[in-house]
Chains A and B, each alone.
Chain A
């Protein structure tokens, strides 16, 4: 089960409000390739993973993705917390404000609620890990697009961090795939 550490994995100190950017950040908070999708995909896949390494990895990366989802939530919160209704409207979150005020709801930038239709949880570990590698690349590309949508260093820093994590996760899932793929590897010490 999960206990909670009362600290973000990476600091978020947004310097000034930006409702428009907050709207874009929903992509990684509740969109198809969001941290929420990643965490739910990996944590559900771990139940049927065949080896100790793959169970541990899916468990641990899934847990880390929850921490990343939290970072996105903190960014959206800080970017909108002092916004007036007019500012919400002007930046394209008028409908959102009317429906949810300034709550941080799990949806895509265009307002679709998050759904498990965004993720893949299969029994086949090769299919699962291949999907996970794809998810990491999609997230990596998403962070690049999000960074190109702002010049604010206090927003770019956590996005660059999160992008770097996707690169590492891709490597780990690749290593896990090597572990369970049906290619016999004799006497290779994983050290």
Chain B
């Protein structure tokens, strides 16, 4: 789905009455964006409220770890156009028996699927 606003096309009609049609055209762009934003917020909350709409809901529940403003500010100061994954810091691992059952020895990497299982 294309997210870019449609390009402003100039034709004879718009050039002749430019100020008014330009205003309308830009206004409708803004309107489209507002409409899209409102709809996606609406869709988000509707999806969250309705049970069993699995894929979207599961996708959003995966993202539920909240970063503080301070953390985001820190992240936003990093060089652009690179992906950053935090280094795991050593912590007390599970026992071997629990590790095999959970699929990892590291509690921090034990991130089970919340869907139907």
Contacts and interface: CB of A to CB of B under 8 A. Distances in A.
A175 B103 contact: no
A163 B103 contact: yes
Nearest to B79: A183
B78 to A, nearest CB: 8
Contacts of A160: 103, 112-113, 117
A165 B104 contact: yes
What DSSP secondary structure best describes chain B's contact surface? loop
B67 interface: no
Contact of A147 (B78, B86, B87, B116): B116
Nearest to B111: A167
Interface in B68-117: 78-79, 82-88, 90, 100, 102-104, 106, 109-113, 115-117
A190 B87 CA distance: 8
Interface in A161-178: 161-165, 167-168, 170-171, 173-175, 177-178
Q: How large is the interface on B (under 10, 10 to 19, 20 to 34, 35 or more residues)?
A: 20 to 34
Contact of A167 (B58, B100, B109, B116): B109
B82 A168 contact: no
Contacts of A168: 103-104, 106, 109
Interface in A129-147: 130, 133, 143-144, 147
B113 A163 contact: yes
B21 interface: no
Contacts of B117: 147, 156, 160
Contacts of A183: 78-79, 82
B88 A175 contact: yes
A170 B116 CA distance: 22
Contacts of B82: 181-183
A133 B54 CA distance: 24
A191 interface: yes
Nearest to A191: B90
Contacts of B54: 148
A164 B104 contact: yes
A47 interface: no
A10 interface: yes
A164 B87 contact: no
9 contacts: A133-B83, A164-B112, A168-B103, A171-B88, A174-B86, A175-B87, A178-B84, A182-B82, A183-B79
Interface of A: 10, 130, 133, 143-144, 147-148, 156, 160-165, 167-168, 170-171, 173-175, 177-178, 181-183, 190-191
Interface of B: 54, 58, 78-79, 82-88, 90, 100, 102-104, 106, 109-113, 115-117
Given A174-B83, A175-B87, A183-B82, 20 more contacts: A133-B83, A147-B113, A148-B116, A156-B117, A160-B112, A161-B103, A164-B104, A164-B109, A165-B103, A165-B104, A167-B103, A167-B111, A171-B85, A171-B109, A173-B85, A175-B85, A178-B85, A182-B82, A183-B78, A190-B87
